[in-house]
Structure 1
Amino acid sequence: MKQLRLTYRAEPTLAAFHNSNAFVRGVMGPLGSGKSSAMCMEILIRAARQRPSPDNVRRTRFAVVRNTQAELRTTTVKTWQDWLSQGERGPSASPPFTSRLRQDLGDTTKLDAEVIFLALNRAEDAKKLLSLELTGAWINEARELPYDIVSALTGRVGRYPPKRLGGPSWSGLIMDTNPPDTGHWWFRAAEQETPQGWAFFTQPPALLASDSGYLPNPQAENLENQPLGADYWLRQVHGKSNQWIKVHLLGQYGDLMPGKQVYPEYDDEHHVALEPLGAVAGTELVLGWDFGLTPACVITQPLPGGRLLVLNELAETSMGIRRFARSTVVPFLRCHYPDHTFTSVGDPAGTARAQTDERTCMEELAKAGIPTRPARTNAFAARREAVASFLTGGHDDVPAFLLDGSCAILRRGFLGGYCFAENSDRPEKNSYSHLHDALQYAALHAQDSHERPVARRGIRRRERQPADGFAGY
């Protein structure tokens, strides 16, 4: 067999990654920093170091995982082919893509590395891994995959080659990613509570922020492999949001999510309060509701002059509206807003009677002490525009829409978690949609009640005020 010869120089962060023997290793960095190439080389390095079996063959089997078939074929498989096309049989033409690398290593032993490329993007996809016997695995762009896939893969590595063929010299899981948001499992594992046997490596940013804009970072990795040099990163700045630049070029954790945003009008730096919001005394609250077994309630406060404060989000799963209202919402209102009156509006579908006891959601809320009216419509276009009208109102110093920083699910939904379903003009039903539906009903009511132009006085940094009694209950 013809020997495979490759030229590869690991950047400092990636060299530290290669030198680690941690069971689970992850590399995070900006776009174009050489992460995927390093993962390909790590597979080859570990395959070449595998102890030979009695017939002098170094056998390994790796799984390579990406979130979709399209991304797998056009990015991950392409990177593998660019590096390892010599002596390789495959990848196969149809999924699951497989590849086989057989090489004479020149030391009387032979390399036999099998690679299986899989698209897995949901927790239930973990069952597809149950029959795999692997040496190791690579998760490409780990921020796109749920933790269940990571957990399942850690149980499938270290199982090949079998003991009669020498067993694996090394086994483990390697991962690369652009920075995820701070609610992601990667952030928790890397920054808050790192599991035993795990190690994380963070590459330098591609660019540095300055008062005059962005500058090339002299410590950026993979610069010499960029045909355009630092211009590869600099020219991507134009037309991008600050959050996108923060994540993809500065290499920092940021609340940027995939999916076509329902609200492109949303600006995280403009619409999130710098300090906790407090309800304005003497002005009623508006509660917005979404029903079902994933009930949600958003507490807002429309202000004279056309502004809308979003103070709190409350949501549960696998719970009916009766228990949600009585055990979650009412105690919260009593504790935080005892002196405020309120108006409560919800999904008009809440007037339908249940098949069990024939009570409507509106009747259940009334019995809990929260009389609620149906919103004037549940048409999605009208609901979206009600929120968008506040997002685009106000001015630079006093936005018409202001979100309390504690509303983490709403915030991540605005950033892309609440997104349009593929090939649809309707939002995807997911963990963000229930609270956003609730917000839309509150915004519809607030929109209907506002007639005057936007006020010019702000309460952006008002501290939360204590209160003594809940007048609305």
Structure 2
Amino acid sequence: MSSLNIGFALDQYPTLKRASNSQSLIRLVAGPAGSAKTSWAIMELLRSALLQTPSPLDNTRYFRALVVRNTYALLKSNTIPSMKNMFGPLLQVTEGSQPFGRVRARLQDGTALDMEVQFLALDSEDAQDKLLGAEPTMVLCDELNLMPESVVFALVRRLGRYPSGTKGKVDRTGVIGVFNGPVKGSWLHKWYLGERDAQFEKVAREMGVEKLVEMFKQPPALIPPAGFPNSHDPNDEWLPNPEAENIQNLAQGYGYYYAMLADPDMGKIQSYVLGEFADVKHGKVVFPEFHRDVHTFPAERVNTKELRDYYLAFDFGRTPVCIVGTLLSDGTLMVLDEFMGEDMSVEQLYRSTVRPALKRNYPNGVCVRAYGDPAGMVGGQNINLSPFDVLRKEGVPIVAPTRSNKLEPRLAAVRSFMTSLGTGGKPRLLIRDNCRFLIQALAADYIYENRSGGRTADTPTKSHIGWVSDLSDSLHYLSMGVLLVMSTGDDDVAQYETEIEWC
């Protein structure tokens, strides 16, 4: 009997490895073109099939995969060939208007595998009927960004029905979605920003699953120059990203992505080269020096429960925000958390959200200082009390980082951290990737708006949608306050400077 070995070296793909280890019902992976996310998803179907408990009747592992693509043409020209390439002769596919695949094999442990692969193109006439009648063990949505949100939930409703009876029961089910960076404002972008998190958490509790949705972002293939995407000069230098995934398997290596830079459509470059959400911008970003891949890091790399100190920074008004940061011993400012409120006072935000989160996430930490808009020293948000007074009553040691609220010194403070390097060559501004709204603001939405005649505004847009200006302003105050600490050598503060070992 001939044998066949099929594998996927997960250790070479840190992002995809995390996705494999996730227990979420819906696992989503965004990344540049050619980053092996589809190949990984295909092998994840096979891995799940091999882990399925054998039927007590005939010792066979039964599994049914449903592979979905937006159009039949792309299903036939891209997805099915990818599956054949990954499975080799193990997968037998019946071509035609309704392609069907099957894997039958004897395994080394004495069990057998019977894996069906059903294919569904959403542009086919019977797509709706096939979707409503599907009974998959697991689903792969290839290029999910081209599909409507409703498809995902329609698929979730069909999960867990096969195998059953004498063929056993389902061990692992779920939906896997892979895609290049979608357009900003799309439903996937809203999921990424967490706009559905509260609803998803409720559904997960009701379903009895650990997590309903988890999204993973692969590193960009190239590191863009400062100013992109607001300006795109072919002579600008793009650098190979050493953390990019699957470069070793591309015939041209990084050249595969350098060729894409000739495209005048910067949205496509964002999507296919960077794997980012393609921003629809109408202005110039305030901080072109900011790059997600350089200035952010995975949340799990810092255990906040072990931190000894932290700083808070607030912005007030009816969309109040608070960010949490810490100062490392090498002068690096690390932003760890963000909290936002809608149509409430800063007192409500602090009591309902910030204080409980600090107790839960920073049980061994001390708030060294808190900073806020100097205008917050004046009463108005609460009867006879200023926002500063309100927070001080709650025990928050808040001060104004400066008597003036002039814009340029605030922007310069942020840039001083953003553009200088600390130990190990990392920038001195690092933002944990759970701070999604702050990252989105800095990367795309905090802008000088375009004006008539090709001019741009002199001051950044004051947008409270997505807390863009609120979070950006809070970063201004935090940066100014920490710079003041560093320049004055305040002993009361310096003793709390934190040492962090990266996990």
TM-score by length of 2: 0.51
Alpha carbons of structure 1 residues 65 and 4: separation in structure 2 relative to 1, 3 Å: same
Deviation at 1:180, TM superposition (A): 0.6
Deviation at 1:27, TM superposition (A): 0.4
Alignment size in residue pairs: 271
Which of 75, 81, 84 does residue 84 from structure 2 map onto? Answer: 81
**In 2, Cα distance between the equivalents of 1:133 and 1:29?**
29
Query: 2:75 is matched with which residue?
Result: 72
Query: 2:249 is matched with which residue?
Result: 225
Query: 2:7 is matched with which residue?
Result: 7
* Segments ≥4 residues shifted beyond 6 Å: none
**In 2, Cα distance between the equivalents of 1:89 and 1:69?**
19
AA aligned to 2:253 is G
Deviation at 1:163, TM superposition (A): 3.4
**In 2, Cα distance between the equivalents of 1:462 and 1:112?**
65
AA aligned to 1:226 is L
Deviation at 1:110, TM superposition (A): 0.4
Deviation at 1:89, TM superposition (A): 2.2
The SS at the match of 2:268 is: helix
Are the counterparts in 2 of residues 123 and 146 from structure 1 also a CA contact under 8 Å?
Answer: no
Deviation at 1:151, TM superposition (A): 1.0
Query: 2:143 is matched with which residue?
Result: 141
1:202 aligns with 2:217: yes
Could you give the per-residue CA deviations for residues 62-89 of structure 1, whole angstroms, max 9, x where no partner exists? 1100000110001100100001132322
AA aligned to 1:112 is D
Indicate the structure (1 or 2) with the bigger Cα radius of gyration: 1
Alpha carbons of structure 1 residues 65 and 152: separation in structure 2 relative to 1, 3 Å: same
Unaligned runs of 5+ in 2: 202-211, 227-235, 286-450, 462-503
Could you give the per-residue CA deviations for residues 6-63 of structure 1, whole angstroms, max 9, x where no partner exists? 1321210001111112111000000110001001100000000000002100000011
**In 2, Cα distance between the equivalents of 1:124 and 1:102?**
28
Mean Cα deviation higher: 145-154 or 127-136 = 127-136
1:104 aligns with 2:106: yes
Query: 2:63 is matched with which residue?
Result: 60
Query: 1:48 is matched with which residue?
Result: 50
**In 2, Cα distance between the equivalents of 1:226 and 1:85?**
19
Which of 131, 134, 137 does residue 133 from structure 2 map onto? Answer: 131
Alignment of 1:382-461 (within 5 A): 460-461=456-457
Instruction: Tell me how large the CA RMSD over aligned residues is.
Output: 2.6
**In 2, Cα distance between the equivalents of 1:143 and 1:153?**
15
**In 2, Cα distance between the equivalents of 1:273 and 1:88?**
50
Determine which structure has the larger helix proportion and give its number: 2
Alpha carbons of structure 1 residues 106 and 152: separation in structure 2 relative to 1, 3 Å: same
Deviation at 1:132, TM superposition (A): 1.5
**In 2, Cα distance between the equivalents of 1:177 and 1:458?**
35
AA aligned to 1:222 is N
1:33 aligns with 2:18: no
**In 1, Cα distance between the equivalents of 2:43 and 2:159?**
18
Query: 1:250 is matched with which residue?
Result: 274
Alpha carbons of structure 1 residues 130 and 2: separation in structure 2 relative to 1, 3 Å: farther
The SS at the match of 1:95 is: coil
The SS at the match of 1:42 is: helix
**In 1, Cα distance between the equivalents of 2:213 and 2:114?**
28
Could you give the per-residue CA deviations for residues 352-380 of structure 1, whole angstroms, max 9, x where no partner exists? xxxxxxxxxxxxxxxxxxxxxxxxxxxxx
Could you give the per-residue CA deviations for residues 412-459 of structure 1, whole angstroms, max 9, x where no partner exists? xxxxxxxxxxxxxxxxxxxxxxxxxxxxxxxxxxxxxxxxxxx99566
Alpha carbons of structure 1 residues 461 and 4: separation in structure 2 relative to 1, 3 Å: same
Alpha carbons of structure 1 residues 230 and 122: separation in structure 2 relative to 1, 3 Å: same
The SS at the match of 1:101 is: strand
Are the counterparts in 1 of residues 72 and 124 from structure 2 also a CA contact under 8 Å?
Answer: no
Alpha carbons of structure 1 residues 124 and 77: separation in structure 2 relative to 1, 3 Å: closer
Deviation at 1:4, TM superposition (A): 3.0
AA aligned to 2:24 is A
TM-score by length of 1: 0.54
Alpha carbons of structure 1 residues 46 and 456: separation in structure 2 relative to 1, 3 Å: closer
Alpha carbons of structure 1 residues 240 and 459: separation in structure 2 relative to 1, 3 Å: closer
The SS at the match of 1:33 is: coil
Alpha carbons of structure 1 residues 103 and 132: separation in structure 2 relative to 1, 3 Å: same
Deviation at 1:138, TM superposition (A): 0.4
Query: 1:414 is matched with which residue?
Result: none
Alpha carbons of structure 1 residues 151 and 231: separation in structure 2 relative to 1, 3 Å: same
Are the counterparts in 2 of residues 121 and 145 from structure 1 also a CA contact under 8 Å?
Answer: no
Alpha carbons of structure 1 residues 215 and 273: separation in structure 2 relative to 1, 3 Å: closer
Alpha carbons of structure 1 residues 100 and 461: separation in structure 2 relative to 1, 3 Å: same
Are the counterparts in 2 of residues 126 and 152 from structure 1 also a CA contact under 8 Å?
Answer: no
AA aligned to 1:216 is P
Unaligned runs of 5+ in 1: 256-267, 276-454, 465-473
Mean Cα deviation higher: 36-45 or 112-121 = 112-121
**In 2, Cα distance between the equivalents of 1:457 and 1:115?**
57
Alpha carbons of structure 1 residues 273 and 107: separation in structure 2 relative to 1, 3 Å: closer
1:155 aligns with 2:157: yes
AA aligned to 1:201 is F
Mean Cα deviation higher: 181-190 or 43-52 = 181-190
The SS at the match of 2:64 is: strand
Which of 225, 235, 259 does residue 235 from structure 1 map onto? Answer: 259
